[in-house]
Amino acid sequence: MYVTAPLWILLLAFLLTSCCPLLAQRRHQNPSRKSLLDGNRRPFDSRYHKLESGGKLTAYAITIPAHESTLIATHPHDYVLISLSRSNLEAVGSANRYPLQMEPEELQVIQGGWAHCLKNLGGAPASLIEIDVDSKIDPEHARCGLLASPCTDGRFGKTDEGVYTISTLFETATLKVTKVELGPGGSLPQHRHWGSPLLIPLTPIHLNDAAEEQVDKVVGEVHSYPAGITHELRNASPENVRLLEVEVK
């Protein structure tokens, strides 16, 4: 015996089989509301490229074409944004907008805890580096720099080989960012990092490292070190070099 289903049931089954693949495709193509904080961070956003990860720090290169934006993503912690180009950006959330007009080598601390994207308002591509920190930076209570008084621990040194300058840009209870400038042959004296530091080149760097092999990086790359390293950096190039040291304390 054969039982014929009512016409409305057949029609409903046809609509479900036709629409479900479309709904699944839309979910797949719209990851902008999804938290992108898995092991690869931002797996759906082509604007981001993971560079290095060490300890509690993870670095990403960001390239945003003119008048375009990144996907919306949730940032559970504060992060550091370093501009490698002149950038006219806007951090855009569902209810907030913050302008970010940055010169080359300028940095900003962006507060976490809200979903937002970075929109390029300029007519040229924006090139940046993002440093994610697996803890709260707490810029409102900086020990120096940011919203506190300027840091005053800068040092200048000169040897027979060359000159160096080192200065803290800002320091909080959890994070310290230092700018280093080395003349040709200049050496940054031996120093120790308690955390796992990242080197962020602001110019191409060719360094002899007493603790490792030579470090050769261009702007837009990052070099990571293990926690607790003690080292000395010497500029092996004939040009002045500038770089940032970022370290979780």
Q: What is the pLDDT of residues 183-192, one digit of tens each?
A: 999 999 888 8
Q: Where in the chain is the domain with CATH 2.60.120.10?
A: 33-134, 155-248
What's the average model confidence in pLDDT over 176-180?
A: 97
User: C-alpha 193: how far from its chain's center?
Assistant: 20
Q: How far apart are the first and last CA of the chain?
A: 78
CA nearest neighbour of 172 among 216, 120, 226, 133: 133
pTM across the whole model: 0.81
Distance separating alpha carbons of residues 209 and 13, to the nearest angstrom: 68
Write the DSSP string, 133-198: ESS---GGG-SBSTTSPPP---EEEE-SS-EEEEEEEEE-SSEEEEEEEE-TT-EEEEEE-SS--E
The yes/no answer on whether domain 33-134 falls in CATH 2.40.50.140 is no
Say if residue 27's pLDDT is above 80. Answer: no
* More confident call, 177 vs 227: 177
Q: Helix or strand or coil: residue 16?
A: helix
> Lowest-confidence range among 7-11, 108-112, 153-157, 161-165?
7-11
Which homologous superfamily does the CATH classification assign to the domain defined by 155-248?
Jelly Rolls (2.60.120.10)
At 42, is the pLDDT very low, low, confident or very high (cuts 50, 70, 90)? Answer: low
Determine how many CB atoms are found less than 10 A away from the CB of residue 229: 16
Strands 114-120 and 87-93: antiparallel
Distance separating alpha carbons of residues 23 and 195, to the nearest angstrom: 46
CA nearest neighbour of 171 among 210, 197, 145: 145
**Tens digits of residue pLDDT in 66-92:** 999 999 998 889 999 999 999 999 999
Give me the pLDDT at residue 173, please. 95
Say if residue 45's pLDDT is above 60. Answer: yes
* More confident call, 13 vs 193: 193
**Tens digits of residue pLDDT in 181-230:** 999 999 998 888 888 899 999 999 999 997 777 999 999 999 999 888 89
Question: What are the residues whose beta carbons fall under 8 Å from the beta carbon of 65, sequence distance 6 or more?
Answer: 120, 125
Give me the pLDDT at residue 76, please. 87
DSSP 210: T
Residues across the chain: 249
Give me the pLDDT at residue 18, please. 43
Which of 23-27, 159-163, 178-182 tops mean pLDDT? 178-182
